Amino acid sequence: MTDLTPMYLRDYQESVYQIPKVDLTIELDDERTLVRSSMTVERNTNRVEQDVLVLDGHDMELVTIHIDGVLLSTDQYQVSQESLIINHCPGNFVLTIETMINPKANTALEGIYKSGGAFCSQCEAEGFRRITYFLDRPDVMSIYTTTIIADKDKYPFLLSNGNCIERKDLEHGKHLVSWHDPFHKPCYLFALVAGDFDLLEDAFTTKSGRNVDLQLFVDKGNLFKAHYAMQALKDSMAWDEQVFDLEYDLDIYMIVAVDFFNMGAMENKGLNVFNSKYVLADERSATDDDFFNIQAVIGHEYFHNWTGNRVTCRDWFQLSLKEGLTVFRDQQFSADMHQKDVTRINNVRVLRAHQFAEDAGPMAHPIRPEKVVEMNNFYTLTVYEKGSEVIRMLHTLLGETGFQRGIKEYIARHDGQAVTCDDFINAMADANDRDLSQFSLWYSQVGTPQVHANATYDLQSKSLSLRLSQTPGAGQQHPPLLIPIGFELLNPKTGETMRQGVLSLSDAAQTFEFEELALQPVIALLTGFSAPVKLDFPQSNDDLLRIMTSANDGFSRWEASQSLFRQCIANYYKDTGYRLPDSLQQAFANILDADIEPAFKALQITLPGFAEMTEFLQDVEPQRLLAALEQFEQDLLNSQTAKLTSIYQQCTERLFGDSEQASGLRALKNACLHYLAGDEDFDGEVVSQFRQARNMTEQIAALNAAAQYNLPSFENINNAFAEQWQEDTLVMDKWFAIQAKVQDGNIFERLQSLLSHPKFSMENPNRVRSLVGSFANSNPKYFHDPSGKGYEWLATQIAILDKINPQVASRLITGLIQGQGFCQEVQSRLRKQLAGLQKLENISADIGEKISAALA
Ligand code: ARG
Ligand code: ZN
């Protein structure tokens, strides 16, 4: 039976032993890698009575154990599935352990495994225990010296954390390389890579004059795709110096791109390992979104060097300490490198479409979880994205200067330590002489809070009174939160901004008064999306139109158009005979005509999607919602075909010029295409966009549109695409993702045959996410097929995958467990699949935890 016993934050205890120093020698072999670990072990002085050492370990063969050079006999220790227990240990000693591991058989991709021809490692959260027996917890921090031995021809590069201290050739064609990392670190930041790569080298001089070698390792033949990532790294280093006054601290920074990776990337000290998807890009094969994401992830991992590595987490419940803060930092970096408003709006779209659903679902947890079965299940949108929103609120409350003062204090206090979210809040509070105790409730509340607003204007006294109240989200009751509410008061006639600022809502209900307002203003609330809440503030179409055209705040201008759309879609949903009102036609036309940035316009005409609308409505019948979305889109197209076509053409023409704004124009062009392809007459245009595309953004958008509407040209260009890109792994991932989205009644046969496609493999997470993930997340029509076939297909794949890679299986299960927004029939069909999965023999803790939460 799988052990699903949770660990609780409240049970945290300091480690009895520490391991200040570790020397590792790793002799790499596909199936028999020998790991020798020699550790200095020290007992905590206030725990003299405790002489039993319990080390974590998983899935490996124990070869020998020595204490101070003396071999232990088998009666001096016990080995179980998850641990090695050594009885009667001295207070201080050298512990040497040899283990044997099998990287080739490691399909879970945790610990040391093979990606293509290379060895690589992934230790966060608890992968180090698959390499050797250790105190695998982040509050045990050590100085590492790592020696790697491997065949020299096959593995010319042997990499680990820190600085290279020795290199020599050995007999039998082997060689040895040693690395020393001068910084204390938890074992989750340990990394090892061995392989044959192409290397891109560059350098960066920090502002205090340190020379840093920058090395980017990619699969042979991919060097031409490495330049953008290198530039992104240099930009990240410069940005962190300018904005946070933080410099890099080693003489070398290495990034390795691998094809087999469970997540995006990993911030191992001095040796980041990346999913190749977040490194490799060139114009022809990568989209504008790919470039954006590469820069963001390179930045994210780089920024971890201070927020995560130099100051780390005491325990895994504190994960948001490093992740929420580092996401905030990468979002600010992206905002500075691109258009601020556009970046912010995209952050909010992710949060509202996906984090809100998680926060309302069976796995809902605070940004600092209190109860965990499988830690890998908590690398969530809540910990990362909502965590970042919490940091952003702090930034709003303290201002940039106060925020930076707090960060300085946090780092000064805790450099080299493993700390808690409370330590972070305390540093921010003390540095600014503020009481943040109410604010800190954000770390323990569950669910998305609602803020209700109600405004009355009194002509006589020329005053506006704004009543705000808050109710907790799906979670438990809790005392009122401190919620910063950005606002802007607009002159209804001229659109001029009369007042703007931030209100602090700290009570269950509060009234804010505004005096001396000559006329009743239009109110934009929650400007900049100042808090991760749902706002309930009914506004007239006229008010929304005023905000849409006149607010200073870009988020509010966009949000006003989205409110109009959401309201309208809700009407289509409720009444199948509903048709587009003139006011909406006009509003849509106004957006199309407006003289605004193309990237912004693209966002304004992009409708709220299926996931976001599911959050907005109740007891959703999926097919009915899809029909409403489709009809609304069709009506918008019919009402504005001419304008959409002309913008589409203008963008195309301007793209041939030498435009800096190219990515914005492409976004706008493709947003128009999304509508226009709804008319079969546009098929020819789609084909020419596909054929004339000079970059992936345009090419894939054409193919995607053809798949979305199953246009006559689809099969043709689909095959051409596969033919053209068959050798490019990352582009083939895009191709698989599109196959899963085709709007075609034969989709299930299609999916089935794709599973046996020569280029499909259940062992490659990117491929699996492309095919299985894209079906479950981006093909709502067939995923929610009334027959239940979509759910069944997903459940079948999860059952297979759970045996291969539980972490990936667990990420894909979201579509089955987050049914709370749907009607009862859907929920019971989903439960049926979950109940079937629950009976799996040897079910992983990863999916086991989620299924039992969903069925509870
Ligand atoms: N710390 C990494 C990042 O945020 C994520 C790695 C998590 N890996 C995992 N297997 N849970 O960049
Ligand atoms: Zn991170």
Rounded to an integer, what distance in angstroms lies between the CA atom of residue 612 and that of residue 356? Answer: 9
Q: pLDDT band at 53, cuts 50/70/90?
A: very high
**350: its two tokens:** 């992710």
Q: 3-class SS at 41?
A: strand
In 3D space, the residue among 407, 353, 785, 796 whose CA is nearest the CA of residue 562 turns out to be 353
CA of 723 to the centre of ligand 1 (A): 34
Q: What are phi and psi for residue 31, nearest 5 degrees?
A: -110, -20
Ligand 1 touching residue 306 (CB < 6 A): no
pLDDT at 656: 81
pLDDT at 46: 82
User: Taking the CB of residue 210, how many other CB atoms lie within 10 A of it?
Assistant: 13
Ligand 1 touching residue 846 (CB < 6 A): no
Q: What are phi and psi for residue 312, nearest 5 degrees?
A: -115, -175
CA of 449 to the centre of ligand 2 (A): 25
Q: Strands 211-218 and 252-258, how do they pair? A: parallel
- Residue 459 vs residues 463, 487, 515, 522, 721: alpha-carbon distances, Å: 7, 21, 11, 14, 64
pLDDT at 658: 65
Predicted confidence (pLDDT) per residue in 265-315, tens digit: 999 999 999 999 999 999 999 999 999 999 999 999 999 999 999 999 999
Bridge-partner residues for 215, per DSSP?
201, 254
Q: pLDDT band at 759, cuts 50/70/90?
A: very high
Ligand 1 touching residue 372 (CB < 6 A): no
Rounded to an integer, what distance in angstroms lies between the CA atom of residue 21 and that of residue 39? Answer: 6
Predicted confidence (pLDDT) per residue in 600-657, tens digit: 999 999 999 999 999 999 999 999 999 999 999 999 999 999 999 999 999 999 988 7
Ligand 1 touching residue 376 (CB < 6 A): yes
Tell which wins on pLDDT, 478 or 547. Answer: 547
Q: Given ligand 1 and candidates 272, 379, 808, which is best to mutate, with the most ligand atoms within 8 Å of its CB?
A: 379
In 3D space, the residue among 759, 820, 769 whose CA is nearest the CA of residue 797 turns out to be 769
The DSSP string of 624-673 is HHHHHHHHHHHHHHHHHHHHHHHHHHHHHHHHHS--TTHHHHHHHHHHHH
Residue for token digits 């999607």? Answer: 609
Rounded to an integer, what distance in angstroms lies between the CA atom of residue 518 and that of residue 460? Answer: 10
The stretch 94-116 carries a mean pLDDT of: 98
Residue of the nearest CA to atom 8 in ligand 1?
124
CA of 330 to the centre of ligand 2 (A): 10
Residue of the nearest CA to atom 11 in ligand 1?
376
**Ligand 1 atom closest to residue 297's alpha carbon, by position in its atom list:** 12
The stretch 333-341 carries a mean pLDDT of: 97
Residues 6+ apart with CB under 8 A from 579: 635
Rounded to an integer, what distance in angstroms lies between the CA atom of residue 147 and that of residue 151? Answer: 14
Residues 6+ apart with CB under 8 A from 589: 639, 640, 643
Bridge-partner residues for 181, per DSSP?
144
Bridge-partner residues for 205, per DSSP?
211
**Ligand 1 atom closest to residue 376's alpha carbon, by position in its atom list:** 11
The stretch 72-81 carries a mean pLDDT of: 96
CA of 387 to the centre of ligand 2 (A): 11
Please say whether the beta carbons of 774 and 813 come within 8 A. no
Residue 477 has pLDDT above 90, yes or no: no
Please say whether the beta carbons of 200 and 215 come within 8 A. yes
CA of 379 to the centre of ligand 1 (A): 7
In 3D space, the residue among 148, 170, 97, 608 whose CA is nearest the CA of residue 349 turns out to be 608
In 3D space, the residue among 761, 623, 625, 666 whose CA is nearest the CA of residue 259 turns out to be 761
**Ligand 1 atom closest to residue 304's alpha carbon, by position in its atom list:** 12
For ligand 2, an ion, list residues with CB under 5 A. 323, 326
Ligand 1 touching residue 265 (CB < 6 A): yes
The DSSP string of 736-751 is HHHHTT---TTHHHHH
**349: its two tokens:** 């779209």
Ligand 1 touching residue 374 (CB < 6 A): no
Rounded to an integer, what distance in angstroms lies between the CA atom of residue 120 and that of residue 402? Answer: 41
Check: complex ipTM more than 0.95: yes
Ligand 1 touching residue 301 (CB < 6 A): yes
Given the residues 110, 267, 301, 685, the one annotated as active site: 301
Please say whether the beta carbons of 709 and 300 come within 8 A. no
The stretch 487-504 carries a mean pLDDT of: 98
Residue 48 has pLDDT above 90, yes or no: no
CA of 586 to the centre of ligand 2 (A): 44
Q: What is the amino acid identity at position 595?
A: D
Rounded to an integer, what distance in angstroms lies between the CA atom of residue 808 and that of residue 772? Answer: 11
Rounded to an integer, what distance in angstroms lies between the CA atom of residue 230 and that of residue 216? Answer: 7
Residue of the nearest CA to atom 1 in ligand 1?
266
What is the pLDDT of the chain when averaged over all its residues? 97
Residue 451 has pLDDT above 80, yes or no: yes
**400: its two tokens:** 């940039």
CA of 447 to the centre of ligand 2 (A): 22
- Residue 17 vs residues 52, 624, 663, 800: alpha-carbon distances, Å: 9, 59, 54, 40
The stretch 566-589 carries a mean pLDDT of: 97
Q: pLDDT band at 377, cuts 50/70/90?
A: very high
Residue of the nearest CA to atom 5 in ligand 1?
266
The stretch 396-419 carries a mean pLDDT of: 98
Q: pLDDT band at 475, cuts 50/70/90?
A: low
| Proximal ligand: closest to the CA of 303 | 2
Rounded to an integer, what distance in angstroms lies between the CA atom of residue 668 and that of residue 654? Answer: 12
CA of 7 to the centre of ligand 1 (A): 20
385 tagged catalytic: no
Ligand 1 touching residue 124 (CB < 6 A): yes
pLDDT at 237: 99
Ligand 1 touching residue 323 (CB < 6 A): yes
pLDDT at 660: 66
Ligand 1 touching residue 178 (CB < 6 A): no
Predicted confidence (pLDDT) per residue in 123-179, tens digit: 999 999 999 999 999 999 999 999 999 999 999 999 999 999 999 999 999 999 999
**Ligand 1 atom closest to residue 379's alpha carbon, by position in its atom list:** 11
Predicted confidence (pLDDT) per residue in 148-157, tens digit: 999 999 999 9
Q: How far apart are the first and last CA of the chain?
A: 18
Residue 474 has pLDDT above 90, yes or no: no
Q: What is the amino acid identity at position 281?
A: A
